[in-house]
Structure formats: structure tokens, C-alpha cells
Amino acid sequence: MHLTIFILSLFSLVIVANPIALRPRAGGPTLKPIPSTCDITNPLPHSSCNATAATSGYKPTSAFASNHKLYESYFDLPTPAEELWEQCSQQCYGYGDAGECKSVILAYGVPTPKGYYGGPGGELTIVCLLFDEYLADEVFEAAVAGQWLDERAGNLHCER
């Protein structure tokens, strides 16, 4: 009897001591303040080099987005554009290994993709997109009228 209890005690220790596989956490990339050694340049067509200049009506081509998108998040709550731009660009800087995220877009009136929260898609919201390549004129195309409004885009260049 004592031997059985001893063996069962050892067996329970083996079960408890085994590591438990962790699943990936939900949530976005870490917000990391962008240091002064970094510049953000605005790659939007017909824009100045000011990353905060608002431009409407351009979206990345589907080829560029499908090949280079690292992360996307959608917001439906009215949040000040400046606050969202700071959060979105800091997520780019904090994404993965240093320099992995190279560009970011924040836009209003962007349709959600099909299957977003199990829905049909197409609901107009605010989007933050992170990419592993720099944005340039040729990766943008005109959006449907009334979509991709008050857009901000930036290429993040940092001294390492």
C-alpha cells in the first residue's frame, strides 16, 4: 500500500513538473517612444515631406499590402488623430526586431476586411497598418471616393 502511494506521488510530480505550452498573446505591438535619432518622412503622393500632413484618398496597392503588411488594427471609437498617429507610429518602432517595421499608415474611412470579427467586412473604420518595406509613390493607388480620408503615412528611418 505504501509503495502504491509512493509511486502515485512520484507520478503526480512528473505531471506537475511538465512545462505547459503557452499560446501567443492577443494584442498589438509594444508602443515604444521614437527617439530623436529617427526621422519619419511622408511618402504619400503629392505631399510635402511633413509626416503629419493630412492627405485623402490614397491606399496601398493590394499587391504591396499582401506582400509587406506586418500588422493591422482597426478602431471604431472617435480618437484624436494626433493621439492615434503617435500610437500607430510608436507601434511600428516597437514592432519585432529593431528596424523590422519600416513604414506606417493611419487613415479614416477604411473598410474592414471580409471576416473581420466574423462579419462581412466593409464597415468604415480607422486603420493602422505596419509594413516591412518603405512606402513610395508607386505603391499607392486612388481609393474609392469617401474612403482613406485624413491619411497619414510615414517611412521610419533610424540611426542604429
pLDDT at residue number 77 = 76
CA 126 to chain centre: 12
pLDDT at residue number 30 = 86
Nearest to 135 by CA among 109, 103, 110: 103
pLDDT at residue number 45 = 84
Q: Which helix (H) or strand (E) holds 154?
A: strand 149-158
Asked if the structure places residue 59 within a domain, the reply is: yes
Asked if the structure places residue 19 within a domain, the reply is: no
Asked if the structure places residue 1 within a domain, the reply is: no
pLDDT at residue number 15 = 43
Asked if the structure places residue 28 within a domain, the reply is: no
pLDDT at residue number 1 = 58
Paired strand residues for 140: 60
Asked if the structure places residue 11 within a domain, the reply is: no
Overall domain count for the chain: 1
Render the burial of 141-160: b for 16+ CB within 10 Å, e for the rest: eebeeebbbebbbbbbeeee
Q: Which residues have CB under 8 Å from 82's CB, separation 6+?
A: 52
pLDDT at residue number 81 = 85
Asked if the structure places residue 3 within a domain, the reply is: no
Distances in Å between the alpha carbon of 60 and those of 8, 12, 18, 104, 157? 61, 56, 47, 11, 19
pLDDT at residue number 80 = 85
Nearest to 129 by CA among 149, 99, 153: 153
User: What are the residue ranges in the chain where pLDDT is below 70?
Assistant: 1-27, 46-56, 160
Residues 29-57 have pLDDT tens digits of: 889 999 999 999 999 886 544 444 445 68
Asked if the structure places residue 117 within a domain, the reply is: yes
- 145: which 3 cell numbers? 471616393
Q: Tell me how far apart the alpha carbons of residues 81 and 28 are, in angstroms, rounded to a whole number.
A: 18
pLDDT at residue number 142 = 93
Domain with 128, as residue range(s), is: 34-158
